[in-house]
């Protein structure tokens, strides 16, 4: 089972990315360092609820 996840930039709070993840393997929230177009730099993106 895979679920869609929305990633939000920690600095500007814009919703930039969507990803799929395995629901059974991971129970904690996804945290990824990705490029934010609004901030124009690499920032930490966290999964929303």
Q: Can you give the pTM of this predicted structure?
A: 0.82
User: Where do the domains of the chain lie, and which CATH numbers do they carry?
Assistant: 2-47 (2.20.28.120)
CB 47, CB 11: distance < 8 Å: no
Q: Which two tokens stand for residue 2?
A: 């895979």
Question: Cα separation of 24 and 11, whole Å?
Answer: 29
Query: Is residue 17 exposed (0-12), middle (13-18) or buried (19+ Cβ within 10 Å)?
Result: middle
Q: Is 21 helix (H, G, I), strand (E, B) or coil?
A: strand
pLDDT by residue (tens digit) across 8-49? 999 999 999 999 988 888 778 899 999 999 999 999 999 997
Phi-psi map region of 33: left, alpha, beta (phi>0 left; psi -120 to 50 alpha): beta
Confidence check: pLDDT of 2 > 90: no
């Amino acid at each position: 089972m895979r679920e869609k996840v929305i990633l939000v930039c920690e600095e500007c709070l814009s919703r930039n990315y969507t990803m799929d993840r395995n629901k059974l393997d991971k129970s904690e929230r996804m945290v990824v360092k990705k490029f934010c177009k609004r901030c124009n730099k690499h920032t930490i993106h966290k999964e929303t609820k």
